[in-house]
Amino acid sequence: MPKIIFQITSIIFLLLLLSCGKIDEKESIDRSGSLTTTIHNLEKQTGDCSTEDLGNCAIIQIEYIEVFYDENPTVQGKINSRLNNELLKPIGAEKSNDTFEDVMLVFLAEYKNFKKDFPESKQHWKLERIVTELFNDNNIFSCEVFEYSYLGGAHPNSYSKFVNFDLSTGDELKLEDILIEGYLEKINIVGEKIFRQTNEIEPNKNLTEAGYWFDNNMFSINNNFTVDENGMTFYYNNYEITAYAFGPTDLFIPYNRINDLIKPDGLLGGFYID
């Protein structure tokens, strides 16, 4: 009898693995002492996704984190809402989504409509939306919101957005919250030096001639940034400052290069280096 029960249990487990929709959860390591996160994985598919060569499949995966912050439930709610709103953005059509289930069903419905209109087309669609925890210290909580999509065409597309939170308020951090007034001109000078060194561009070489696009051919940081205990990273997505073939570009500026720009009483003050 125990052998039969084991066989039945194994069959049920395999059927669950092969089902079209699946949910997985995993709790992360608590690094802050109070703020914890749980990772949720959602997936749905339609068609035969056993191999991409079949060209008759659409699959969508959403991986998101749920924040738990007992010290301040209001902050917890603000962070979860902000991150979820990024994942609930419309796909293609401008129809809003209320739940992750809506996002997945809309994506699969668009694929089915496409196959109705072009039944002979060999298409394998894929969409991933993933939130990853990057940093959780010094009252700062930082995440990356990543999207990968392939809907046919010459190549897939991807996009990363960084979101940083002040754990005392739950508000999203902006550069002016952590850097002194008038920081932009000075940080652009430092950033350009590092940018040229990293990408092996001579000091006097025109940035456009080097293959990079900046307004008026003047280097500038953007607002897509994250922080850690060592410095700030600015991230430029595909097509933002250079051709797709060169991929995304990231620029790391260590704190010891911008000490005079850091607000001593701000959230980066704990990393301030004299």
Contacts made by residues 200-209, CB under 8 angstroms, sequence distance 24+: none
Cross-strand bridge partners of residue 35 = 69
Confidence of residue 274 (pLDDT cuts 50, 70, 90): low
The answer to whether domain 15-173 has CATH 3.90.550.10 is no
pLDDT tens track for 107-166: 999 999 998 998 888 888 999 999 999 999 999 999 999 999 998 877 899 999 999 999
More confident residue, 196 or 155: 196
Domain boundaries, the chain: 15-173, 176-271
Query: What's the CATH number of domain 176-271, 3.40.1350.10, 3.90.640.20, 3.40.50.10860, 3.40.30.10?
Result: 3.90.640.20
Burial of 182: CB neighbours in 10 Å, binned 0-12, 13-18, 19+: exposed
More confident residue, 74 or 121: 74
Record the tokens describing residue 215, joined without a space: 């307004």
pLDDT tens track for 10-32: 433 333 333 345 455 554 444 44
pTM above 0.75, yes or no: yes
Cross-strand bridge partners of residue 40 = 25, 64
Record the tokens describing residue 239, joined without a space: 């097509």
pLDDT at 52: 59
> What gap in Å lies between CA 237 and CA 45, rounded to an integer?
28
